[in-house]
Structure 1
Amino acid sequence: MSVRGIVLAVALGAMAGPALAAQPTVLADADPEFNALFDQSLKRPADVELAFRLARRAVEVGDYEAAIGVYERILFYNPKLVRVRLELARLYYRLGSYESARSYFEPIAQSPELSGQERDNIAAYLVEIDRRLSTNQWSVYGQVGVRYQSNANYGPSSRLVIGQDVGALLPPSAAAQADGNAFALASIRHVYDFGNQRGDVWETNLNLYYSQQFQLQQLNLGFAEFNTGPRFALAPDALPGSSIRAYVLAGGVALGGSGYLGTYGAGVSLYLPFSAWFGLEPFAEIRQRDYQSSQDYPTASFQSGEMWTVGGNAFGRITDDWRWRARLSYNDASGDLPWYSYNTFAVDLALPFEFQGLWGVKRWIVIPSVGYTRYNYDAPNPFITKFITEQDNQYRVGLALDVPVHEQWGLLTQVQYSWSTSTLPNYAFDNFSVSIGPNVRF
């Protein structure tokens, strides 16, 4: 048990005496309801129902260590309470104390007091704990599916565009076109645990994607990117879970059946979980981008150059069921020609919400999201206009629903609407997309 949990357990003990000086823990002490329950528990330490209410409130405000202290004290009075052991196991798992979690899960794994769904859930927890405690830890996420887009080629909203400083009418083949595709993606992660007390590891990630268009074959897309590097604990005592990671990366993109982009580079990131409510992951990255021209994309090679990226991911909890994550980034990309050089500013926000669905041993997740990206190019493209530099504002709103069908299998549906305004009508567009397909994680 943590030091804070021990302090709270002692404070609730019948043998603590009248001169108690214990205080609520750091995460919970700003919550009036927790404080009121805490004070009542000091006066009535043998009131089990009150202790349950205090523990549940500690979980609601994100103070798992305080909740553990309360549940441990309940077990001291009645060690046969299976559901208290189940709650303790889940809390230790959330804190990353996997051996402690297993010690509570295993004795109740076949308990008749639990439902079949709960016993299946415990079995899944035990499998995941074994994986996480292994020196070599693997995790895989994959999905296959189909997608429809109202503007698959991101054609301009109007066929009236600018070409060499005069108005031009695009042929229908170059205007916005609807299409669908079949796609597959996979994300594979490997962690080698060095086995030291600090928790240092070597982390490797591989991301793969391929989509096959039904009609617009020039938009067939293949993507692969690999990164690997050490992750060192940053402040294991002052800020548990914090780390710094340096990595190298390499990747490539194929477009329309031909090589389109090769890239390599390096980066560094920090992981700073300040509390259950807020964490931060700033990062910086540099990569070289080498584009290749093809029959469908004859000028692609002029985009080659370096790209710097700085930014950060932020994440946290709003309630026990409702989380948030955000990403903020700035890119500076150079090209062989000045009108292919640009910088971007992007921000995205997602609010995953878990709830008990109609079936399944795991809860469903609905994820609303919004995003914005601004593109600023360095110079006008003289083949379009000598006087107007392209500036684009792209917006997106989306909604995803992840429905678990089995412990490892689910069905993911995503809907997104995106649109762009631009200083040039050539690059103003809108696009509605919907995708659906089974996913797997293990």
Structure 2
Amino acid sequence: MLVKQNIHFVAESNARPRPRKGARAVAFAALLAGCASSAAFAQQKTAAADADLEFNTLFHQSMQRPADVELAFRLARRAVEVGDYEAAIGVYERILFYNPRLVRVKLELGRLYYRLGAYESARSYFQPIAQSTELSASELDNVAAYLVEIDRRLQTSQWSFYGQAGVRYQSNANYGPSSTLILGGSVPALLPPSYAAQADGNAFALATIRHVYDFGNQRGDVWESNLNLYYSQQFQLDQLNLGFAEFNTGPRFALLPDELPGSSVRAYVIAGGIALGGAGYLGTYGAGVSLYAPFSLWFGLEPFLEVRQRDYQNTADYPTAGFQSGSMWTLGANMFGRISDTVGWRARFSYNDASGDLPWFSYNNFSVDVAVPIEFQGLWGVRRWIAIPSVGYSRYSYDAPNPFITNLVTQVDNQYRVGLALDVPIHEQWGLLTQIQYSWSESSLPNYAFDNFSISVGPNVRF
């Protein structure tokens, strides 16, 4: 379950649609470049910038001294800091109106238009400076990478890929109970040594592949497909070798392309499976629907509903797995946004209702995970480093007591997790990802209380 959540988190960060705000930004820039009146300029400020005292001060000073390039630069930088990219574009366009040869202004405009999803506009600024002698070697590499990515995103058929490989250590790889005293047949019993917590490491690899086919109807309607893959090979506990694959595909239709740019609704089908200990363990299929609504730079919402059928298979290591088979429906939401230009946030809430062949294998589950990606200038690299602190909580409530453990107590688990990840770019597309996590469970049954510390490290790639 934890592996599946982590894979979804990775997939989510690489598969999210991007808002289309280019038209609004172009109109704003045109007003400024044409020396629009103060009243017209004031109407274009967003609420985020308007609430910032420093921005307003610089704004009014710039209106009084429109030819002051240094003041305009300060205003543009402040607009970026408060997240008002459209205002920053307008200021930079005005600077170019007075001096069209400023290479670094074109560089900033290209980056800002790219962030807004106006890729053609971004390319119109990047291409003329791609060989400029005024830019450093790393900046030229950065421009070249932008142009490659823009070409890819403007294609009718678009592919993206994220992958990581590495090694992981866990202090409790089998999630063995914290106590040596457990329940069996309603009486206390000593935990057999083979079920005690055991430390182990593994080598792992994961990949997320996304394909988008653009229908080319100018609304933003596409067909979107995602494939998530994961495999880990334990160093000692072979029964925990894990393979995971899940595929979803379906159309995504623009919802309110003019009133809420980037909003969409998607219907999709799902198919997947898990292998555990080298044998087939779970097959699943179903369908879902999601709504994507990027209300602003600061807040976006993606509620979803999924229904699945889960078919578990008995194996030599897990001879009673088949009793968990049944349906499961999930209601949840992904939330995301930015706190500042360098700090973002994302959260995931979900509620599951899962039925099994036996009532003590049926449960409902509530989960929440929150992460705060923080970008900062590292020691090297053309991209900023990203530190991602995270916290999470899950509650599992089962429908009935398990008579093989006790008839008196129904299992209820409260699981907690805290983590920290560091994504260090080595190249524009390559990096090194290190993750640390501590998780623990408080359960109504001592059999299911545990704690586990894990650390993983390995290279990642995205394109």
Check whether TM > 0.5: yes
Number of the residue aligned with 2:367: 346
Number of the residue aligned with 2:221: 200
Amino acid at match of 1:76: F
Residue 20 of structure 1: how far off its partner (Å): 6.6
Match of 1:230 among 251, 266, 276: 251
Whether the 8 Å contact between 1:4 and 1:25 is mirrored in structure 2 is no
Structure 2 CA distance for partners of 1:407 and 1:21, relative to 1, 3 Å: closer
Q: What is the CA–CA distance in structure 1 between the aligned matches of 2:213 and 2:266, rounded to whole Å?
A: 14
1:288 aligns with 2:321: no
Amino acid at match of 2:272: G
Structure 1 vs Structure 2 CA RMSD: 1.5
1:263 aligns with 2:288: no
Match of 1:328 among 342, 346, 349: 349
Whether the 8 Å contact between 2:397 and 2:413 is mirrored in structure 1 is yes
Per-residue Cα deviation, 1:335-369 (whole angstroms, up to 9, x for no partner): 00000000001010001111111111111111110
Per-residue Cα deviation, 1:12-57 (whole angstroms, up to 9, x for no partner): 86674x8778333333222222222222222111111111111111
Question: What is the TM-score normalised by the length of structure 1?
Answer: 0.97
Matches within 5 A, 1:75-90: 75-90=96-111
Number of the residue aligned with 1:148: 169
Amino acid at match of 2:204: F
Question: What is the TM-score normalised by the length of structure 2?
Answer: 0.93
Whether the 8 Å contact between 2:395 and 2:414 is mirrored in structure 1 is yes
Whether the 8 Å contact between 1:28 and 1:58 is mirrored in structure 2 is yes
| Percent of pairs with identical residues | 79
Whether the 8 Å contact between 1:14 and 1:46 is mirrored in structure 2 is no
Structure 2 CA distance for partners of 1:148 and 1:319, relative to 1, 3 Å: same
Number of the residue aligned with 1:120: 141
Match of 2:113 among 86, 89, 92: 92
Query: Could you say what secondary structure the match of 1:27 adopts?
Result: helix
Structure 2 CA distance for partners of 1:31 and 1:5, relative to 1, 3 Å: farther
Q: What is the CA–CA distance in structure 2 between the aligned matches of 1:49 and 1:361, rounded to whole Å?
A: 26
1:22 aligns with 2:42: yes
1:160 aligns with 2:213: no
Match of 2:208 among 172, 187, 190: 187
Residue 421 of structure 1: how far off its partner (Å): 0.3
Structure 2 CA distance for partners of 1:441 and 1:8, relative to 1, 3 Å: closer
Amino acid at match of 1:425: P
Whether the 8 Å contact between 2:414 and 2:441 is mirrored in structure 1 is yes
Residue 10 of structure 1: how far off its partner (Å): 4.0
Per-residue Cα deviation, 1:88-117 (whole angstroms, up to 9, x for no partner): 000100010101100100100111111100
Whether the 8 Å contact between 2:162 and 2:208 is mirrored in structure 1 is yes
Match of 1:319 among 340, 346, 349: 340
Query: Could you say what secondary structure the match of 2:388 adopts?
Result: strand
Amino acid at match of 2:183: I
Number of the residue aligned with 1:416: 437
Match of 2:424 among 403, 415, 421: 403
Match of 1:426 among 447, 455, 459: 447
Amino acid at match of 2:343: W
Amino acid at match of 1:246: A
Count residues in correspondence.
441
Q: What is the CA–CA distance in structure 2 between the aligned matches of 1:305 and 1:280, rounded to whole Å?
A: 30
Structure whose residues are more often helix by fraction: 2
Amino acid at match of 1:207: N
Number of the residue aligned with 2:78: 57
Match of 1:337 among 330, 351, 358: 358
Q: What is the CA–CA distance in structure 1 between the aligned matches of 2:333 and 2:366, rounded to whole Å?
A: 12
Per-residue Cα deviation, 1:66-102 (whole angstroms, up to 9, x for no partner): 1111111110000000010001000100010101100
Q: What is the CA–CA distance in structure 2 between the aligned matches of 1:367 and 1:385, rounded to whole Å?
A: 41
Q: What is the CA–CA distance in structure 1 between the aligned matches of 2:405 and 2:213, rounded to whole Å?
A: 52
Number of the residue aligned with 1:377: 398
Whether the 8 Å contact between 1:2 and 1:65 is mirrored in structure 2 is no
Match of 2:94 among 69, 73, 86: 73
Whether the 8 Å contact between 1:147 and 1:181 is mirrored in structure 2 is yes
